[in-house]
Every structure is written in C-alpha cells, then in structure tokens.
C-alpha cells in the first residue's frame, strides 16, 4: 500500500517525554502571543482572531494526534494529521503578519511537527514532510513580502527541523538499544533462574531416591534384625528392653524417612515463580505484574521451559512492537492443563503478520498438543493484545 509506512518503535516513556516537551513549546508560543496582542478583545482585528484561533486549533490538533497515535492510527491517518498541523501553522503565520515577533515565533511550531515526524515515519518520509512544511511557509511569505520572501528564515527553519529530527532519531535509537538490552538481560536472568530451579529439582529427586533406596532399605533391614533379636532374648528382660527401644527408634526413623521422601516427592517439579519474577525485576517498576497460582509446580521440564519461553516472547512483543507500558502475566493450573495469559495495553498488532518468534512459538505449542491463541483487542476498539497458551500437564514433543 502507498501509505503503509513503517512507524518508528519509540518506547512509551520516550514518547511521553517528547510530548510533554512539545506541549511546553506550544504553551510558550501561546504565552508570547498573549503578550504581543492587545489586552482588550474588542481591539482585535479579524486577522488577530484568526491567528489566535489557528494557535488554539494547532493545540487541539496536536492533542488529537498524540491520542490517535497512542490508540493506533494507521499510516494514512498519521500523514493527514501531520499535514493538518503544518497547514494550521502556515495559517497562523499568515494571520500574524503584522506582528514581527509572532511572525518569527509561530513557525517554531513546525519544530513540534518535526518532533512528531521523527517518531512516526521512516527517514525519507520525515525529510519529505519537513520539506513540504518549509516550502509552504516560504510560499505564504511571498504573499506579503517581495521576492525572494522569507528565504533566509526558511533555510534556518529547515536547519532547526533537521537538527531536531537527527537528535530525536539518535535518542530513539539509544532508548531502543537500552530497552533491548534490558529485555535481553531480563530473559537471560530468568532463564538462569530456570536452569538453577531445574538443577535444584533434580537434586531433590536424587536425594529422595537415595533416601528411599539406600537409607530406607537399610533401616528396614535393621528393623528386621531387631525383630529377630527380640524373639531370641526372651530370657533376658534387661537386654530385651534395650532391643525394644532400639526397634522403636528404628520404626520412628523409618517413618520419618518415608515422610521426608513423600514431602520431597510432593515438591517435585518446577515452580517457575522465581523465573517469572526475574523476567519482570529488571524492567521499570510496575511495568510487569506476575500472578502465579500458589503452590503451582510443573512436572515436565519441557512444559515448564515452553511456558517460560512463551512468557518471554509475549513480554518482548508487547514492549518491542506494541509499545506497551503495562503487562500482566498470569499462570494457572486448570484440571490437567496449564494456562498462561500475557495481556498488555499496547497498540496491538496493527495488521502485522506473525514474525519468526510468534510462528515458532505457535508451532512448538501445537507440537506438544497444546493450544495457542493471540487476540488483538486493539483491532476491536480496545487496547493491546492477549496471548493465551494452554499445555497439558506432562506433555512432551511429538516424535
């Protein structure tokens, strides 16, 4: 499609800060206009009313653009919103032509537009829109100025817009790299925690087997020998008392050993709680919430590994592609199946096809007789996506 343009992936925190800075510049220009214009409204001319109306319209258009971008405007809508803002700035510039201070202050709003352009479009689209805005500014200046019009201010304006775009592009790249590093580090730490939990589970299982196979058998043999001795010392009551006490101790120790083995066996399996908490601990506070059913343990290492990998993939996609600021991880055992849900408040899929990560995850879930479901709530007027993975307890990959 002609307007199917790739949007820059700007972290939510960066977008918020840039929007606040742009709003500060807009309010500053409104304050300058308030100081330049007559205090008495009845002294305003039609041009002055038109200029103030244009500034207010630009403020509304800026707010509408921010909201529409956050809620998933498509590429054509983004272009139209940017062109609308450029048009309003040019109108305001023309209406304030009798105020030299405002004639060279109002065009600074195009830097606000350039900031939005830098966060929304590819480099060549950003350059094209900046050229359009600057040419429009210069063309309007020719209406009331002799040739070549405001060519020098136009060139300066182009330079400022280009500088703003380059600075913002660099900042976006740094923030994106920092976010990728944080996500990769979180996934690495969570996987390390998973490996440590796997090692601990195997060690628990080994200890349980040793207690059962070695200690339990030897205690049973000791108890049998004490029973034989009890039969042979009936004529020696004093020695019989010692043997009876020893037999009781052997019974108690055997019962304790069986209880320990049973407790270890009951706690066998992977908890995943620490691994999922590690996944969220290295990202900003409150960004990811983990809700894990109390006492839940996954017996199959393959199932546990896939549940953790699905959590990592869901979080990564929500942050990298959806620009989410809130993500919820929930893991439950329902009957003989585990259900994982990853819900975010991002911009949704926006019609993008499944990439390698999503495709491979869906294939792995299907290979283990599970169910994979990805719902784009943003496409239905809501926000974000919901990933749901269902896996049977004890599932194993098909041969």
- Tokens 């977008």 -> residue: 15
Distance CA 10, CA 14 (A): 7
Distance CA 82, CA 300 (A): 53
Distance CA 165, CA 125 (A): 12
Instruction: Tell me if 185 is assigned to some domain.
Output: no
Tens of pLDDT, residue by residue, the chain (399 residues): 333 344 456 666 777 888 888 888 889 988 888 888 888 888 888 888 988 999 999 999 898 888 876 665 666 777 788 888 888 888 888 888 788 788 778 888 888 888 888 777 777 777 787 888 888 878 877 777 778 777 877 787 788 887 777 787 777 777 777 767 766 766 676 666 666 666 666 666 666 666 666 566 666 767 777 777 777 766 666 676 767 767 777 777 767 666 665 655 554 556 677 777 777 766 666 678 888 887 777 777 788 888 888 888 888 888 777 777 788 889 888 888 889 999 988 777 766 776 777 888 888 888 888 899 988 887 777 778 899 989 987 655 554
Q: Are residues 175 and 113 in the same domain?
A: yes
Q: Are residues 292 and 162 in the same domain?
A: no
Q: Is 96 exposed, middle or buried (0-12, 13-18, 19+ CB in 10 A)?
A: buried
Instruction: Tell me if 21 is assigned to some domain.
Output: yes
Q: Are residues 376 and 239 in the same domain?
A: no
Of 164, 179, 194, the domain-final residue = 179
Instruction: Tell me if 1 is assigned to some domain.
Output: no
Q: Are residues 113 and 247 in the same domain?
A: no
Q: Which of 47, 40, 155 is nearest to 94 (CA)?
A: 47
Q: Are residues 76 and 211 in the same domain?
A: no
Mapping DSSP to helix (H, G, I), strand (E, B) and coil, where does residue 386 land? strand
Q: Are residues 313 and 380 in the same domain?
A: yes
What global pTM score does this model have? Answer: 0.54
Distance CA 33, CA 52 (A): 8
Q: Are residues 168 and 229 in the same domain?
A: no
Q: Which pair of structure tokens corresponds to residue 228?
A: 């034989």
Q: Which of 195, 397, 197 is nearest to 296 (CA)?
A: 197
**Which residues form the domain of 300?**
270-392
| Sheet of strand 337-344, all strands in order from the earlier edge strand to the far edge | 288-292, 327-334, 337-344, 385-392, 371-376
Decide if 378 contacts 384 (C-beta within 8 A). yes
Instruction: Tell me if 106 is assigned to some domain.
Output: yes
Q: Is 199 exposed, middle or buried (0-12, 13-18, 19+ CB in 10 A)?
A: exposed
Strand 327-334, strand 337-344: pairing: antiparallel
Q: Are residues 133 and 71 in the same domain?
A: yes
Axis crossing angle, helix 109-120 with helix 123-144, rounded to the nearest 10: 160
Decide if 82 contacts 65 (C-beta within 8 A). yes
Query: Alpha-carbon dihedral of residues 61, 51, 108, 9, nearest 10 degrees?
Result: 10
Decide if 328 contacts 346 (C-beta within 8 A). no
Q: Are residues 103 and 216 in the same domain?
A: no
Q: Which pair of structure tokens corresponds to residue 329?
A: 């991880």
Mapping DSSP to helix (H, G, I), strand (E, B) and coil, where does residue 395 land? coil
Q: Are residues 380 and 320 in the same domain?
A: yes
Query: Which residues, in sequence order, are bridge partners of residue 388?
Result: 341, 373
Q: Are residues 160 and 303 in the same domain?
A: no
Q: How many domains does the chain have?
A: 3
Distance CA 336, CA 241 (A): 52
Q: Are residues 35 and 172 in the same domain?
A: yes
């Amino acid at each position: 499609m002609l307007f199917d343009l790739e949007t820059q992936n700007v972290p939510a925190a960066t977008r918020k800060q840039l929007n606040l800075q742009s709003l500060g510049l807009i309010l500053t220009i409104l304050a300058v206009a308030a100081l330049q214009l007559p205090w008495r409204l009845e002294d305003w001319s039609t041009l002055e009313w038109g200029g103030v109306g244009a500034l207010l319209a630009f403020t509304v258009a800026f707010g509408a653009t921010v909201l529409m971008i956050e809620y998933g405007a498509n590429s054509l809508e983004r272009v139209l919103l940017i062109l609308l803002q450029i048009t309003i700035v040019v109108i305001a510039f023309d209406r304030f032509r009798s105020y030299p201070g405002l004639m060279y202050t109002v065009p600074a709003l195009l830097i606000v537009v350039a900031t939005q352009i830098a966060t929304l479009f590819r480099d060549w689209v950003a350059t094209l829109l900046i050229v359009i805005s600057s040419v429009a500014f210069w063309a309007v200046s020719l209406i009331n100025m002799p040739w070549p019009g405001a060519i020098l201010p136009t060139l300066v304006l182009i330079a400022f817009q280009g500088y703003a775009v380059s600075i913002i592009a660099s900042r976006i790249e740094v923030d994106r790299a920092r976010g990728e590093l944080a996500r990769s580090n979180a996934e690495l730490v969570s996987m390390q925690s998973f490996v440590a939990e796997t090692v601990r589970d195997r060690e628990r299982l080994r200890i349980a087997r040793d207690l059962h196979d070695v200690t339990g058998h030897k205690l049973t043999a000791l108890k049998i020998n004490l029973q034989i001795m009890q039969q042979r010392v009936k004529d020696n009551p004093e020695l019989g008392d010692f043997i009876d006490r020893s037999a009781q101790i052997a019974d108690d120790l055997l019962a304790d050993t069986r209880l320990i083995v049973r407790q270890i066996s009951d706690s066998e399996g992977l908890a995943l709680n620490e691994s999922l908490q590690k996944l969220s601990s290295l990202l900003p506070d409150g960004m990811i919430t983990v809700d894990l059913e109390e006492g839940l343990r996954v017996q199959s290492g393959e199932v546990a590994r896939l549940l953790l990998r699905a959590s990592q993939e869901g979080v990564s996609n929500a942050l990298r592609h959806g620009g989410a600021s809130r993500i919820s991880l929930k893991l439950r055992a329902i009957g003989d199946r585990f259900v994982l849900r990853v819900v975010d408040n991002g911009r949704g899929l926006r019609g993008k096809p499944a990439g390698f990560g999503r495709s491979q995850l869906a294939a792995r879930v299907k290979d283990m007789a599970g169910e994979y479901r990805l719902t784009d709530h943003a496409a239905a007027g809501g926000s974000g996506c919901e990933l749901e993975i269902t896996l049977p307890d004890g599932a194993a990959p098909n041969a």
